[in-house]
Amino acid sequence: MLGNAETARRGNLVSAVGMLLAVVVTLLAKQILSYEWILVGIVAGSLVGYVAAVRVKMTAMPEMVALFNGFGGLASMLVGWSEYERLHLASPDALPLFISTTIFLTVLIGGITFTGSVYAFLKLAEWVSGRALLFRGQHMLNLALTVVAIAGGVLFAMGGDYERAGFFAAVAISLLLGFTIVMPIGGGDMPVVISMLNSLSGLAAAAAGFVIGNNVLVVAGCLVGTSGMILTLIMCKAMNRTMVNVLFSGFGATAATGKGTAFAGELKPISPGDTYAVLETARQVVIVPGYGMAVSQAQHQVKELADILEKNGAEVRFAIHPVAGRMPGHMNVLLAEANVPYEQLVEMAAINPMMPQVDVAIVIGANDVVNPAAINDKSSPIHGMPIVNAHEARTVICLKRGKGAGFSGLENQLFLLPNTRMLYGDAKVSLQAVVSEFKGN
């Protein structure tokens, strides 16, 4: 059900009911020590969750997801730790190898997820610099830390005098590793990293499930782990980058990540009045939303314009690029909020063959995902990235505020093409002006 936008709501509901069932069954278990503390946890967690969900702005969604992922990792780590303390109190002997291994994995993955996610949150919220921080020997340091953490795990599993030292070394290093792994990854790549950390938080939960012998936790954790990993790979593919490149290349360490070719041509502005004239006669219109639509929160005005165009006899579709915006499904969520029907949303692969027949492509705050350099400039760092072929439409109208580059920092040849016109200004204001022109005529 989650694989399709129309059934996703029901899929979420089914998952929620499944989780409720798991919680109720767990609460009925005899080993529960204190219902009072569980209640305190429920009240405190619900309050924080409610306030955060109500107050978060749509553009701040990725960092909230990052933070909540991190709490998942922390929870798993604490479960692993407390289970170790409980078993240690019960018997000072070395733990069975299976138990010590799963506790070690829970703590290691949970710790990395926690600090990695908190750092990702800080980068995205711009509380710290979003730049990729690189230094010599960085990857060697991460490798060395991983080796020391594993050595700590071995001491822990062996039991004896160094058992506790080994365990706490693994805890400390996992927390450190979260920071050092995310450090060389730029703010723009954070959505990919968040999706990967989400996957890790699932694996930590699955490991915690083994620790406490809870099958539901194992299954739910594996679901989160695999779906998060699939999402991560989809995002990498949509950017034509490998996961290794995202994690280790330091993309975004400098302001511009690559130059590509400089293009000739001039930017040709268009007024809202002339935009109206072009759109008034159009019969096939494709709207390509991007990050700028999210920044200006223009989704309701986009929907209003789409409705007006349809009333005027045009067929309107929305071209959805898989990495438009700054998080997976960013455009889908915004357009759904404005009640744009799902049938109007067309995926990139399906819309591209239709582009040559399209009268007008309206590009709203999208840049990289419509950059033809991805197809025709081999020297471009984004060469090979799949794009929405907006440039093939008879006329292209681009809404943006000025000459600002996209996430990649590259110049965009689309804006200079003879069939492109630039409607400058905040997307919401520009769309309101075009809608007013329609209403006034």
Q: Which residues are catalytic?
A: 368
- Greatest Cα-to-Cα distance within the chain, rounded to the nearest angstrom: 85
Listed ranges 120-128, 204-212, 251-259, 326-334: which one lies at the site for ligand NAP (CB under 6 A): 326-334
Element (H, E) at 317: strand 315-320
Site map 376..405 versus ligand NAP, x via CB under 6 A: -----------------------xxxxxxx
Distance CA 264, CA 17 (A): 58
Closer residue to ligand NAP in complex, CB, 84/119: 119
Q: Is residue 116 a contact partner of residue 224, using CB atoms and an 8 Å limit?
A: no
Q: Which of residues 21-60 bind ligand NAP (CB under 6 A)?
A: none
Determine phi and psi for 232, rounding to 5 degrees: -60, -45
**Any contact of residue 206 with ligand NAP (CB under 6 A)?**
no
Distance CA 52, CA 265 (A): 47
**Any contact of residue 326 with ligand NAP (CB under 6 A)?**
yes
**Any contact of residue 292 with ligand NAP (CB under 6 A)?**
yes
Nearest Cα to Cα of residue 77 among 218, 207, 217, 169: 207
The single residue among 22, 150, 295, 375 that binds ligand NAP, judged by CB under 6 A, is 295
- Nearest-10 Cα torsion for 125, 128, 131, 134: -140
Per DSSP, 343 falls in state G
Q: Collapsing DSSP states into helix, strand and coil, what is residue 284?
A: strand
The single residue among 76, 106, 275, 296 that binds ligand NAP, judged by CB under 6 A, is 296
How many residues bind ligand NAP, per CB under 6 A? 35
Please state the closest distance from residue 276 (CB atom) to ligand NAP, in A: 18
**Any contact of residue 323 with ligand NAP (CB under 6 A)?**
yes
158 CB neighbour count, 10 Å cutoff:
14
30 token code pair:
């005899």
**Any contact of residue 325 with ligand NAP (CB under 6 A)?**
yes
Please state the closest distance from residue 238 (CB atom) to ligand NAP, in A: 7
**Any contact of residue 427 with ligand NAP (CB under 6 A)?**
yes
- Binding residues (CB under 6 A) for ligand NAP: these are 188-189, 191-192, 235, 239, 290-292, 295-296, 323-328, 330, 365-369, 399-408, 426-427
